[in-house]
Amino acid sequence: MLETRRPDQLRLPLAEDSRRALQAFQTLSYLESHLVGLNMSWGPGGSVGYELASGIPAVRDDSDLDFILSAPRKLEITEAQDLWRMISSAPGKVDALVETPLCGFSLKEFATTSRRKILLRTADGRVLGSNPWNLSNGEDS
């Protein structure tokens, strides 16, 4: 039987004890303790998510943590900046992706860019936009 798990269902207790010392798992542990009150679902993707979901070792010493945040509601820029500051203070490198109902984008780029438009990954390809929660023909309104 095939079992599906969402990123928000993958947490450090699923990791083998012998693997928890790896930097990516230490970073996950840090985020788990610092994001307790976050009112959006999140979890690991990439090699950490794969290993936690499958039990098959995939994380290496130099692996970063792919962080996936589900944001069905608009994330205000100040909220994104606060979240990025906390995430970027984690002990290891974090690649943070935000997923909206319409697209995905880099939390770092959204929180730190001075440009009006950021790269949005949509089902139709990559486009530049400034509002990932309201797209119209690749542009936002």
Please list the active-site residues.
Answer: 64, 66
116-119: long-range contacts, CB 8 A cutoff, minimum separation 24: none
Provide the pairing of β-strand 65-70 with 94-99.
parallel
CA torsion 54-57-63-68 (nearest 10°) is 10
Q: How does DSSP classify residue 53?
A: H
Q: How does DSSP classify residue 3?
A: -
User: Which residues are CB-contacts of 115 (< 8 A; sequence separation ≥ 6)?
Assistant: none
Query: How far apart are alpha carbons 65 and 42 in whole angstroms?
Result: 12
